[in-house]
Amino acid sequence: MGSAIARSLLGTAIRQLRFPATNDSMQSSNSRTPPPITFRQGVESDFSPCAELWMHALAARDSTPRDPQVKRRALEKLTGGRNILFIAESASRILGFAMATDCTQPGAARTAHLTLLAVDPESQSQGLGKSLLTRITNSLAIGQFAEATLRVLAENPTARRIYESTGWQPTEYGIFDDSGRPFIRYVLSLKEPIS
């Protein structure tokens, strides 16, 4: 019963959260203030725009053309079920998202894998990635997951700094099957919500 109430309260709180857009101090007083950034749980109609954003963000990160195969693989993950999806948006435009997948094995403690996290390149350096990460890990903690895992490109120091600053611990190194690029696996204990 308490868990259902906590999930209900979390859902209400998430819908009401606002991340204030920063005002450029160089803007004139006649400039229009950008709409606020809001966070919410994702729904099925978000899957395609999130896959598109994932493709765009990876192309920008890697300085490569947009690859429809990247979008297709992201869409497969998004539609795979047992997922928890959080969206950051402004004026109904998705600026970022984070998705975790319940990968709990029978008889084991609840475990989730942070499968996708992306922020539109034009909206980076505003704290959206860290905010999405905090929201999804808090949701997992409230949902009584014991731990979360993720894999990140070894050569992505920006993402690694965000993960490490929020308590994620590197545990092993490996190679991504689809790209052949090295990754670092991280684990986060979810005993308490993250601040």
Which residues constitute the domain of residue 125? 36-189
pLDDT of 6 above 80: no
Q: Please state the domain count of the chain.
A: 1
Query: Would you say the pTM of this structure is higher than 0.85?
Result: no
pLDDT in tens, 19-65: 333 333 233 344 677 788 889 999 999 999 999 999 999 888 888 88
Q: How confident is the model at residue 9 (pLDDT cuts 50, 70, 90)?
A: very low
Whether 14 is covered by a domain: the verdict is no
Q: How many Å apart are CA 143 and CA 112, to the nearest integer?
A: 10
Half-sphere exposure of 9 (CA within 13 A, CB side): 9
Whether 7 is covered by a domain: the verdict is no
Q: What is the CATH number of the domain that holds 59?
A: 3.40.630.30
pLDDT in tens, 113-135: 999 999 998 888 878 889 999 99
Whether 30 is covered by a domain: the verdict is no
- Residue of 34, 49, 136 whose CA lies nearest to 93: 49
Whether 119 is covered by a domain: the verdict is yes
AA letter at 12: T
Q: Please report the pLDDT score of residue 126 as a whole number.
A: 79
Please, are residues 112 and 133 in contact by the beta-carbon 8 Å criterion?
no
Whether 3 is covered by a domain: the verdict is no
Whether 88 is covered by a domain: the verdict is yes
